[in-house]
Every structure is written in structure tokens, then in C-alpha cells.
């Protein structure tokens, strides 16, 4: 048929086998091949039914994202789907792997559907700022009802084969070989005299239309700021207002409008960036990672526990070393408690929890780490302690064992020297809670061996993380950029903005919370310790804005003590605290500061451009090899809204000339010390280009 679709006859049945790696997307040649297969099967009197199946690890996982934003070669997907609707012979989808987006739409346009038990189904379009564009919003309700459709189409989640079967989205779960099962299904179909049919001909469900209003409210909260989920909801409603054929035409128009919109452009860039960061410039893709069979974790505070859990969750044996016996016991109990919470919620079975617990071998003796292939250090964030630990690790582990520090800002190269085996040393900066947060900031030191880099990138993926690579600098990518945002936030408070107003600006920009609510959540004592560690490099003004130290001195540690910037009741919701107003007013009086009204746009620009400028420095210094690392890290690490594409992509959309002009204005007002523009930003703005080109 075409390069990617093979047409084969098996007696009275024909099979169109799609083989379009990596995910069998509906690229131009697949669409052409499917169209030809349908035509051939229809015209061949000896063929009684057509089976559509895929080679490789998945059924069609969607439209081809690489074609988006470019002219689409005919036939377009809706055309192929219309051919399926009009076919007189039954078409059967035989599915495995992931049936997503356009792939799910092809499946729903087939007349019958069978799938292996492990198949997953979903419409991830909203995650790309899109919505189904080939009938998904119209066929799904006709087969599965409104509630299931709203869940699938507007939230972008996936369901398993059992759920799909229970909701009428597939006809049969196929055991054993899928090709053989599909043929047997076709034979039974024909023997029973069943012919072609189409979901197009079914009525819309008589479900309660109040579901729309309820969903609108849920989406406005759960997917705040995103335009696609509400558009997707609107598309489903079309089925009640017009005929199927008119509704799919309008759905396609809406899909195209969404595709041209800024959010989809940003989310698609981020999708590509999240995959691009796995390819490290200059690192051969053929470089073999070192085998990791056993993981060691040393230091069992909050981070160490989470890291041990993340490794055990991936089925890896963990030697968990705590240096104090009491703490060791407490750590294991805490780990058990966290997993028990998952069991109670039903996301983990007791048997799996027991297996995972059995993978963790506690020890108070670092020499036990001799059996590990990778040791992750998560002891107290103190250079002297970490230096001692690395010297010890260098002595007790085998040469070739990777020694990684979970430090969030300390010097990896100094730890590498202390170990005596600098080529084996790197950073692996996890985010709290380490067993939950997806981002992993891997750090390459000056002397880290290339295969160590390859190993920690592969290891991160193996434990379900999204690893990015940073070079060594104070705070690496995420905390270095975040530190600039915190600096501006404290300065803004000194100048007159109140913490709640600042948080509100960032929340309305799309962050899950602002810097002050975040400080309260993380613990102001933790923030004060980080400020103390950086004291030597802080400016006089940064030292003066010592709100965090004042809070801690007053026993206000944030959420955990019931008060910080905000006051917290039983519900843990932040509430205004007049005590904070008093503290700020006293601070201003003590230092003779005249507070003024600060406008929301100044707050937004100062907080965000401070990060963009630092990102440009990070890029210019080669700490991040590409803007991709920065955007992926900031979206997944601190909740920079994904639909902006991340700080660097967002700045590109504003125009670097405009960003630079604001930075120059701030420089004139607040000095070179804080607002000297990054040379790379100046250079790119001068050339009229962006960080991405
Ligand atoms: N089109 C083109 N390439 C795709 C693709 C797609 N829809 N989905 C994935 N790929 C590529 C990736 O870019 C990656 O390429 P690379 O190796 O060059 O980096 C490769 O396939 C493997 O992808 P992953 O690293 O993500 O592999 P995983 O095995 O972890 O995951 C997956 C596989 C679950 C299919 C995941 O890739 C995924 O979720 N893909 C996106 C699916 C999607 O969003 N589909 C909807 C598209 S929009 C649509 O269909 C519109 C329709 O309604 C008209």
C-alpha cells in the first residue's frame, strides 16, 4: 500500500498492518496507506472484513505531532475516517499499547474493536493545548456516555482495556496473539452475519446536561488557565446542537483554531523539549551506561527517604544507610507510613507495598555500600559534613561505583575531589517529595566521566523521572533561577507590595502558588538555612531583607508551625495574618524605608524577568546546554505554567527586545548589581532572535 502500511490477505479477510515507528502516528503515508487498504478491501469481492493492526510496541498513538503547524498532505485524517464510516464491509481495530488521540479516533471509527488486556486508551490532545480533531468528541459520547467522555476528552487521562470494555468503547479483550485473535474475531463476526456499523449512527446519550456545568467548574479549578479543556468540553456539547456530520466539521475547525493558538504552540514546544533533553549534546547515543543493579542511599532525612522509595518503586534493591540508629528506625517507619497511605487510597496493593519494603535494606554502616553500583548522598546540606561523607564513600565503595550528591546548591566539584574518584562523582538533585516529583536535575561536574552522565540520565528514566542535565554552579538551574525570584519578592515587600499581592500575581499568571505560600510550605527554617549558607555572596540589600530570619526568630516556620507569612488553621489554607503586616511595617520603620504602591505588572515583570535574565546567564555560561533544559526544569520543578512553554519560550514569545527594555529600566532604577542584563540576552535581542532561534 505505502511504505508504512502493508496489506495482506488471510483467506476471506484482509489486514492493514501499520509500521510507522516510533509510535505509529498517522503520518501522511499512514493515512494514504489506510485509505488505499479500505479502498482495496471494499473493491475485492473475496474480502469480507478488514482488520487494522500495528507493528511495534503500540497501536496508533496519535496524529503526527511533527506535521503540526505545517501544510498537511492529503488525505487528511477526517477524510480517511469518513471512508471508514462509509465502508460497507466491517472494519476491525486490533489494538495493543497506547491508543491515543487520532489513534483512538481511528479506532472509534472502526466498526468493531478488540484490544489486548494491557492496552491503554486516551485523548491526550488537551496536554498539547488541543482537542480531538477527527470525531473523538462525537463518537465517544455515543459509545460511552457523557461522563466518561468528559473525563477522557477534557482531562487527557487514560483508561485501561477493562474500563474501556465496561464502557462500550471496545467489544472484546483479546487474550494471546493479537493477530490470531483478530482473525478469529472476524470469522465469528461474519459467521454471525454481523456487518458494517458506525458510531456516527448512534444517538447522543440522554445523560444529564448538568454534567457540562459541573465539568466546567471542575476544569476551571483543576486545569486553571488552560484554554483547551474548556474548548474540548464545548466540542462535546456540539453533538446535542447539530447533526453528527456538522458537529465533526465544527470540531475540526475548533481543533485548527486551538493549534494556531499560543498555548498549543507552547505545549507542543515543551513536549518536544521534554524528549530533547534526553539527548545530551556531545555525548554519543551509543555510549553504554554503567549497569545499576543495587542503589545505595546515605542520609535518611526527608530527601533520602523519598529517594529510597523512588528506587524501590522501580523494583531496585536499596541499601539505605542512616548514620544514627534511632533515625534509621524512624526513617523506615516513615517510609512504611507513606506507602500505607497509598494502600489506603487504593493506588498500591498491600502485596506490592510489602515487596517494596523488602527491597530496602537498612544499615547504619557505610561499608555496606560496597555492594551498591550507585550511591546517592542525601545527608545534611552542609559542605563540611558532605565533604567527609564523600571522602568516606570514596574509600568504602568499589571503583566505578557512581557517587551522586543530592545537594541543591553545593559544589559538586569539591565533593568530587574529596572522594578521590572525581570521574565517578556527579549530582542528582531530586525535588521534594522525591518519590513523587518528576523532575530530576542531574549535574555533571568538571571531571564526571561521560558514561556516568549516560548512566544517571538512563537511571532517572528507569525510576520514572524526567532527568535534565545541568552543569555546576550555585543552585544549578532551578534553585539559581528561583533565588532571583525570591530576591525580587523580598525587595518588593520592602518597597511596599504585600506578600499576598505578590503571590496573587504569580497565581494568576498560572503558578500553583506564589513565593510566600511556597516558603511557608517548604519551611521558613529551611529557607533561612539556605540564606545563611549563601551569606558570603549576598549583597547588603539582600542581607537587610531578612524577613525569613525574623519569621524564624518569632517561631513562625510556615505551615508546620501554623504560621509564617500566612496563618494556617486545621484546613491548612493560608489566611491573612496581621502579625505579618506588623513585622513588615516594623522592618520598614527600622530601616527608614518609604513603602509605595507597587502595581501588579511591575510585580510580574520583576519576578519573572529576574528568572529569564538568570536563565540567559545559565545558558550563556553553558550550565544548561540548551533553553530546553531550563524550560523543562522550571515547568516540572517549580510549576512555571506549562502552557507558557517555560520561562525561556515565554520570553521568546514576548520578544527579547521587549524583555531587555524592561530589564534596562529596572537596571536604571535598582542598579547593575541586580539587573545587569545577561550578555546572551543582549546579543539575541540585538539580532532580533529568541533563545530557541
Ligand atoms: N507524533 C509524532 N511523534 C511522536 C508522537 C506523535 N503523536 N508521540 C510520540 N512521538 C515520538 C516522540 O517525539 C519520541 O521521539 P524521539 O525518540 O525522536 O524523541 C518517540 O515518539 C518516543 O516517544 P516517548 O519518548 O514519549 O516514548 P514513550 O514510550 O515514553 O511514550 C507515548 C509513548 C505514550 C505514545 C508518548 O510518546 C505520548 O504520549 N505521545 C503523545 C501522544 C499524543 O499526544 N497524541 C495525540 C496527538 S494530537 C492528535 O492526535 C490530534 C487528533 O485528534 C487529530
CATH of the domain at 605: 1.10.1040.50
Q: In the chain, how long is the greatest CA-to-CA distance?
A: 93
Establish if 561 belongs to a structural domain: yes
Report the alpha-carbon distance of residue 45 to residue 130 in Å, rounded: 40
The pLDDT value given to residue 209: 87
- Going from the Cα of 151 to the center of ligand 1, the distance in angstroms, rounded, reads 21
Average pLDDT value for residue range 442-457: 98
Average confidence (pLDDT) over 434-460: 97
My answer on whether 466 and 484 are in the same domain is: no
Q: Are 558 and 516 in contact, with CB atoms under 8 Å apart?
A: no
How far, in Å, are 377, 406, 425, 426 from residue 318 at the CA level? 13, 16, 19, 19
Q: DSSP characters for 568-617?
A: E-TT--EE--HHHHHHHHHHHHHTT-------HHHHHHHHHHHHHHHHHH
What pLDDT is recorded for position 359? 98
Q: Does one domain contain both 202 and 66?
A: yes
What digits encode the pLDDT tens for the residues 629-645? Answer: 999 999 999 999 999 99
Same domain for 414 and 513, yes or no, is no
Residue with cell string 479543556: 229
Among 590, 625, 641, the domain-final residue is: 590
Give me the mean pLDDT over the 100-119 stretch.
Answer: 98
Given this model, what pLDDT does residue 502 score?
Answer: 98
Which residue out of 32, 98, 105, 182 is catalytically annotated? Answer: 105
Q: According to the model, what pLDDT value does residue 117 have?
A: 98
Whether 251 sits among the annotated catalytic residues: the reply is: no
| 275 CA closest ligand 1 atom index | 19
The answer on pLDDT for 424 being more than 90 is yes
Of 125, 251, 441, 614, catalytic: 125
Q: How many residues does the chain have?
A: 693
Band of pLDDT at residue 691, cut at 50, 70 and 90: very high
Q: Is the pLDDT of residue 285 over 90?
A: no
Residue having the nearest C-alpha atom to atom 38 of ligand 1:
61
Q: Specify whether 560 is located in the same domain as 607.
A: no
Give me the catalytic one of 25, 32, 61, 63.
63
Instruction: Please check whether residue 285 lies inside any domain of the structure.
Output: no
Same domain, 580 and 604: no
Q: Is there a domain that residue 432 lies in?
A: yes
Is the same domain home to 191 and 113?
Answer: yes
CA of 457 to the centre of ligand 1 (A): 20
Please write the tens of the pLDDT for every residue from 225-246: 999 999 999 999 999 999 999 9
CA 91 to chain CA centroid, Å, is 36
Let me know if residue 287 belongs to a domain: no
Q: Is the CB of 557 under 6 A from ligand 1?
A: no
Judge if 302 and 203 occupy the same domain: no
517 CA distance to ligand 1 middle (Å): 35
pLDDT of residue 420: 97
Q: Identify whether 214 is a catalytic site residue.
A: no
Residues 43 and 92 in one domain: yes
Whole-number Å distance, alpha carbon 96 to ligand 1 midpoint, is: 15
Q: What residues are paired with 351 via a beta bridge?
A: none
Name the closest-CA residue to atom 19, ligand 1.
275
Distance 514 CA to ligand 1 centre (A): 32
Provide the pLDDT for residue 530.
86
Residue 496 binned pLDDT confidence (cut-offs 50, 70, 90): very high
Mutate to test the pocket of ligand 1, among 62, 154, 278 (most ligand atoms within 8 A of CB): 62
Pocket test for ligand 1, best of 4, 18, 21, 22 (most atoms within 8 A of CB): 22
| Cβ atoms within 10 Å of 225's Cβ, excluding its own | 15
Phi (first) and psi of residue 636, to 5 degrees: -90, -15
- The answer, yes or no, to whether any atom of ligand 1 lies below 6 A from the CB of 505, is no
Q: 27 alpha carbon to ligand 1 midpoint, in Å?
A: 12
- Whichever domain contains 86, its CATH number is 3.90.226.10
Q: What is the mean pLDDT of residues 255-267?
A: 97
Ligand 1 and 135: CB distance under 6 A: no
Residues 235 and 143 grouped into a single domain: yes
| Cell representation of residue 333 | 517507619
Q: Residue 573 maps to which CATH number?
A: 1.10.1040.10
Both 110 and 255 in one domain: the answer is: yes
| % of the chain beyond a pLDDT of 70 | 100
Q: Does the CB atom of residue 275 touch ligand 1 within 6 A?
A: yes
Is 259 near ligand 1, meaning CB less than 6 Å away? no
Say if ligand 1 is within 6 A of residue 15 CB.
no
Model confidence at 528, pLDDT cuts 50, 70, 90, reads very high
- The CA radius of gyration of the chain, in Å to the nearest whole number, is 28
The reply to whether ligand 1 has any atom less than 6 angstroms from the CB of 156 is no
Which of 550, 567, 590 marks a domain boundary? 590
Atom of ligand 1 nearest to the CA of 271: 13
pTM beyond 0.75: yes
The CA angle 440-443-447, to the nearest 5 degrees, is: 155
For residue 534, name the pLDDT band (cuts at 50, 70, 90). confident
Determine whether the shortest distance from the Cβ of 647 to ligand 1 is under 6 A: no
Assess whether 175 and 239 both reside in one domain. yes
Pick the closest to residue 681 from 671, 690, 670, 693 (CA basis).
Answer: 690
The rounded Å distance from CA 626 to ligand 1 centre is 22
How much is the pLDDT for 69?
85
Tell how far the Cα of 64 is from the centroid of ligand 1, in angstroms. Answer: 8
Q: Is 102 in the pocket of ligand 1 (CB under 6 A)?
A: yes
Q: How far is the CA of 275 from the centre of ligand 1 (A)?
A: 10
Domain range for 124:
5-260
Q: Per-residue pLDDT tens for 146-164? A: 999 999 999 999 999 999 9
Boundary of a domain, candidates 429, 446, 470: 470
What pLDDT shows up at residue 324? 79
565 lies in the same domain as 451: no
Structural domain tally of the chain?
4
User: Are 492 and 340 contacting, i.e. CB atoms less than 8 angstroms apart?
Assistant: no
* pLDDT for 135: 97
| Atom of ligand 1 minimally distant from the CA of 77 | 54
Å from CA of 547 to ligand 1 middle? 46
CB distance 258 to ligand 1 below 6 Å: no
Is 155 part of a structural domain of the chain? yes
pLDDT band at 533 (very low <50, low <70, confident <90, very high): confident
Confidence at residue 109, expressed as pLDDT on a 0 to 100 scale: 98
User: Measured between alpha carbons, how far is 233 from 153 in angstroms, rounded to an integer?
Assistant: 8
Q: Compute the mean pLDDT over every residue in the chain, rounded to the nearest whole number.
A: 96
Banded pLDDT at 2 (limits 50, 70, 90): confident
According to the model, what pLDDT value does residue 318 have?
A: 98
Domain-embedded: residue 337: yes
Write out pLDDT tens, residues 307-356.
Answer: 999 999 999 999 999 987 778 999 999 999 999 999 999 999 999 999 99
* Residue 35 pLDDT: 98
Q: Are 67 and 27 in contact (CB under 8 A)?
A: yes
Q: Is the CB of 87 under 6 A from ligand 1?
A: no
In a domain, 434, yes or no: yes
16 catalytically annotated:
no
**For this structure, is 655 an active site residue?**
no
Q: So what's the pLDDT on residue 323?
A: 80
Residue 692: pLDDT over 90: yes
Probe residue for ligand 1, chosen from 54, 61, 132 as the CB with the greatest number of ligand atoms within 8 Å: 61
Q: If you take atom 20 of ligand 1, which residue's CA is the nearest one? A: 22
Residue 131 CA, closest ligand 1 atom number: 53
Is the minimum distance from the CB of 97 to ligand 1 under 6 angstroms? Answer: no
Ligand 1 atom, smallest distance to 65 CA:
1
- For the domain that residue 340 is a member of, what is the CATH number? 3.40.50.720
Q: Which of 4, 18, 21, 23 to mutate to test the pocket of ligand 1 (most atoms within 8 A of CB)?
A: 23
> In this structure, is residue 265 part of a structural domain?
no
pLDDT at 114: 98
Among 202, 11, 171, smallest CA distance to 94 is for 171
Catalytic residue among 33, 62, 101, 102: 102
Amino acid at each position: 500500500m505505502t511504505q508504512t502500511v502493508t496489506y495482506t490477505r488471510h483467506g476471506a479477510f484482509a489486514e492493514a498492518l501499520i509500521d510507522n515507528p516510533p509510535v505509529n502516528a498517522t503520518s501522511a503515508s499512514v493515512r494514504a496507506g489506510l485509505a488505499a487498504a479500505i479502498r482495496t478491501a471494499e473493491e475485492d469481492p473475496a474480502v469480507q472484513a478488514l482488520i487494522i493492526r500495528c507493528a511495534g510496541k503500540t497501536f496508533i498513538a496519535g496524529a503526527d505531532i511533527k506535521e503540526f503547524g505545517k501544510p498537511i498532505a492529503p488525505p487528511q485524517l477526517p477524510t480517511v475516517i469518513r471512508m471508514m464510516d462509509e465502508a460497507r464491509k466491517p472494519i476491525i481495530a486490533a489494538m495493543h499499547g497506547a491508543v491515543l488521540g487520532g489513534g483512538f479516533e481511528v479506532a472509534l471509527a472502526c466498526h468493531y474493536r478488540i484490544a489486548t488486556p494491557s492496552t491503554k486508551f486516551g485523548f491526550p490532545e488537551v496536554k498539547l493545548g488541543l482537542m480531538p480533531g477527527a470525531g473523538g468528541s462525537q463518537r465517544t459520547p455515543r459509545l460511552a456516555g457523557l461522563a466518561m467522555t468528559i473525563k477522557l476528552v477534557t482531562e487527557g487521562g487514560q483508561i485501561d482495556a477493562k474500563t474501556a470494555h465496561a464502557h462500550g468503547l471496545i467489544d472484546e479483550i483479546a487474550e494471546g496473539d493479537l493477530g490470531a485473535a483478530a482473525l478469529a474475531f472476524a470469522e465469528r463476526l461474519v459467521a454471525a452475519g454481523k456487518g458494517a456499523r458506525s458510531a456516527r449512527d448512534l444517538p447522543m446519550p440522554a445523560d444529564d446536561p448538568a454534567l457540562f456545568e459541573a465539568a466546567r467548574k471542575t476544569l476551571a479549578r483543576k486545569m486553571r488557565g488552560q484554554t483547551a479543556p474548556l474548548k474540548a468540553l464545548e466540542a462535546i456539547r456540539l453533538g446535542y446542537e447539530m447533526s453528527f456530520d456538522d458537529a465533526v466539521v465544527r470540531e475540526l475547525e475548533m481543533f485548527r483554531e486551538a493549534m494556531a493558538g499560543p498555548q498549543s504552540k507552547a505545549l507542543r514546544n515543551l513536549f518536544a523539549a521534554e524528549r530533547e533533553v534526553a539527548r545530551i549534546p556531545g555525548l554519543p547515543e551509543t555510549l553504554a551506561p554503567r549497569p545499576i543493579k543495587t542503589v545505595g542511599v546515605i542520609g535518611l532525612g526527608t530527601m533520602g527517604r523519598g529517594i529510597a522509595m523512588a528506587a524501590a518503586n522501580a523494583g531496585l534493591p536499596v541499601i539505605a544507610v542512616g548514620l544514627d540508629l534511632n533515625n534509621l528506625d524512624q526513617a523506615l517507619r516513615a517510609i512504611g507510613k507513606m506507602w500505607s497511605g497509598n494502600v489506603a487510597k487504593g493506588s498500591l496493593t498491600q502485596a506490592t507495598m510489602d515487596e517494596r519494603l523488602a527491597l530496602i535494606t537498612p544499615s547504619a554502616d557505610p561499608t555496606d555500600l560496597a555492594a551498591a553500583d550507585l550511591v546517592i548522598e542525601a545527608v545534611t546540606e552542609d559542605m563540611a559534613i558532605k565533604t567527609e561523607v564523600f571522602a568516606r564513600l570514596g574509600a568504602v565503595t568499589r571503583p566505578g561505583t557512581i557517587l551522586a550528591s543530592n545537594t541543591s546548591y553545593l559544589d559538586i566539584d569539591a565533593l568530587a575531589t574529596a572522594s578521590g574518584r572525581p570521574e565517578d562523582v556527579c549530582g542528582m538533585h531530586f525535588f521534594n517529595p522525591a518519590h513523587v516529583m518528576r523532575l530530576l536535575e542531574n549535574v555533571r561536574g568538571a571531571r564526571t566521566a561521560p558514561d556516568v552522565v549516560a548512566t544517571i540520565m538512563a537511571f532517572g528514566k528507569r525510576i520514572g523521572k524526567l532527568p535534565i542535565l545541568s552543569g555546576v554552579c550555585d543552585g544549578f538551574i532551578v534553585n539559581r533561577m528561583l533565588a532571583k525570584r525570591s530576591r525580587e519578592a523580598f525587595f518588593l515587600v520592602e518597597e511596599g507590595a504585600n506578600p499576598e499581592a505578590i503571590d496573587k500575581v504569580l497565581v494568576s499568571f498560572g503558578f500553583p502558588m506564589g513565593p510566600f505560600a511556597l516558603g511557608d510550605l517548604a519551611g521558613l527554617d529551611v529557607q533561612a538555612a539556605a540564606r545563611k549558607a549563601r551569606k558570603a555572596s549576598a549583597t547588603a540589600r539582600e542581607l537587610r531583607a531578612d524577613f525569613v530570619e525574623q519569621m524564624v526568630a518569632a517561631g513562625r516556620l510556615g505551615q508546620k508551625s501554623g504560621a509564617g507569612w500566612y496563618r494556617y488553621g486545621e484546613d491548612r489554607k493560608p489566611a491573612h495574618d496581621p502579625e505579618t503586616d506588623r513585622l513588615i511595617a516594623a522592618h520598614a520603620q527600622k530601616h527608614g524605608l518609604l513603602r509605595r504602591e507597587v502595581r501588579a505588572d511591575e510585580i510580574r515583570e520583576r519576578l519573572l524577568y529576574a528568572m529569564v535574565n538568570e536563565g540567559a546567564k545559565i545558558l550563556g555560561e553553558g550550565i544548561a546546554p540548551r533553553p530546553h533544559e531550563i524550560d523543562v526544569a522550571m515547568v516540572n520543578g517549580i510549576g512555571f505554567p506549562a502552557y507558557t512553554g517555560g520561562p525561556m519560550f515565554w520570553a521568546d514569545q514576548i520578544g527579547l527586545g521587549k524583555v531587555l527594555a524592561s530589564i534596562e529600566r529596572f537596571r536604571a532604577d535598582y542598579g547593575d548589581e541586580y539587573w545587569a542584563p545577561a550578555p546572551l540576552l543582549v546579543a539575541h535581542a540585538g539580532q532580533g532572535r529568541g533563545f530557541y532561534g
